[in-house]
Chains A and B, each alone.
Chain A
Amino acid sequence: DQQVKQNSPSLSVQEGRISILNCDYTNSMFDYFLWYKKYPAEGPTFLISISSIKDKNEDGRFTVFLNKSAKHLSLHIVPSQPGDSAVYFCAARQNNAGNMLTFGGGTRLMVKP
């Protein structure tokens, strides 16, 4: 039972263009969402997050959008850079489950120079 899904295992984008990574969830008790970025042989690093009371959060080139009615969130990277090439994980936290994170399967982003 996958409560957080990233349906695109990979995405290829040209440098300078927009990257859009998608994530869907099924558990309506999730109230906080995070994106982590992972390079090979390293652990995931926190990128950006959004609370369920918001529909958008922006941090530099990274913006996360949340559509609660559709149980969908997306990460936009503009402009994309070759250094953004990594695996991106969407994660969700439940409001009564402390700090426990449920992760999606990840999307591998490749930004071509």
Chain B
Amino acid sequence: EAGVAQSPRYKIIEKRQSVAFWCNPISGHATLYWYQQILGQGPKLLIQFQNNGVVDDSQLPKDRFSAERLKGVDSTLKIQPAKLEDSAVYLCASSLGRIRETQYFGPGTRLLVL
């Protein structure tokens, strides 16, 4: 079974530029999560989707971050404009459902904002 796929794996941009990350969850997984992991810290949930609807985006900085999951499968996370403090690994995870299901993580996208 294929795991969670993410691209790109690495991205370097200058502050105030925009960037987008892509995630393809495990086939059949209805719930998709985006996490931000700053160096030396644990992952922090940014947004959770159930199919193509948002379940929780309370920790998403909505002035610059946006995410969508239009057809309930792939998802994109966008940052516009990027700030230096956005440098982090962005992890995508998926699970079968949204209640007490194991989350499976992708390899992440490492973002460096200069």
- Give A61-85 as 1s and 0s: 1 = Cβ < 8 Å from B's Cβ atoms: 0000000000000000000000000
**Interface assignment of B101: CB less than 8 Å from any CB of chain A:** yes
Q: Do A46 and B103 have beta carbons less than 8 Å apart?
A: yes
Q: Which residues of A contact B95 (CB under 8 A)?
A: 99
- Give B13-53 as 1s and 0s: 1 = Cβ < 8 Å from A's Cβ atoms: 00000000000000000010000000011111100100000
With an 8 Å Cβ cutoff, the count of chain B residues facing the other chain is 26
Partner of B105, one of A4, A6, A45, A49: A45
Q: Do B105 and A99 have beta carbons less than 8 Å apart?
A: no
**Interface assignment of A60: CB less than 8 Å from any CB of chain B:** no
**Interface assignment of A43: CB less than 8 Å from any CB of chain B:** yes
**Interface assignment of B4: CB less than 8 Å from any CB of chain A:** yes
* Number of A-B contacts defined by CB within 8 Å: 59
Tell me the chain A residues, 5-33 only, with Cβ under 8 Å from chain B.
6, 9, 32
State the main secondary structure of chain B at its contact with A.
loop
Tell me the chain A residues, 72-113 only, with Cβ under 8 Å from chain B.
89, 91, 93, 98-106
Q: Do B93 and A4 have beta carbons less than 8 Å apart?
A: no
Q: Do A46 and B104 have beta carbons less than 8 Å apart?
A: yes
Q: Nearest chain B CB to A78's CB is how many angstroms away?
A: 24
**Interface assignment of A42: CB less than 8 Å from any CB of chain B:** yes
Q: Nearest chain A CB to B69's CB is how many angstroms away?
A: 16
**Interface assignment of B70: CB less than 8 Å from any CB of chain A:** no
Partner of A93, one of B42, B48, B100, B105: B100
Known: A103-B42, A106-B41. 8 other contacts (CB 8 A): A6-B42, A43-B91, A46-B102, A46-B104, A93-B100, A98-B55, A102-B45, A105-B40
A→B interface (CB under 8 Å): 4, 6, 9, 32, 36, 41-46, 49, 89, 91, 93, 98-106
